Amino acid sequence: MNTHLKTVKLTLKGKNPVTMDHLSVRGNNIRYYILPDSLNLETLLVEETPRVKPKKPTAGRDVGRGRGRGRGRGRGRGR
């Protein structure tokens, strides 16, 4: 989950802290979040129902035929 932060103090190892207006962090670089105890999570968290994608019309298509045989069925016969 990518995260976008405002008014951030960035501290790198062995360097002085740097204040930034905006910072975006890619999700795979985030290990955990530390939130203050004074933060009221019940008012901030919103429960959303999953969105349902609309069905695409299947007119003019063969239904249930699959998408081909696929690839990668073993190492072959060595020919």
Within-domain flag for 9:
yes
**pLDDT band, very low/low/confident/very high, at 39 (cuts 50, 70, 90):** confident
pLDDT at 7: 93
Within-domain flag for 39:
no
Q: Give the separation between CA 6 and CA 21, rounded to whole angstroms.
A: 6
Verdict on whether the full-model pTM lies above 0.75: no
Within-domain flag for 72:
no
Could you tell me what percent of the chain has a pLDDT over 70?
A: 75
Within-domain flag for 77:
no
Strands (E), 1-79: 3-10, 18-25
Within-domain flag for 18:
yes
User: At residue 66, what are phi and psi to the nearest 5 degrees?
Assistant: 80, -170
Query: In the predicted model, is pLDDT for residue 53 greater than 80?
Result: yes
pLDDT at 42: 82
pLDDT at 71: 64
Total domains in the chain come to 1
Q: Which domain holds residue 28?
A: 1-32
Within-domain flag for 23:
yes
Q: Give the separation between CA 20 and CA 49, rounded to whole angstroms.
A: 35
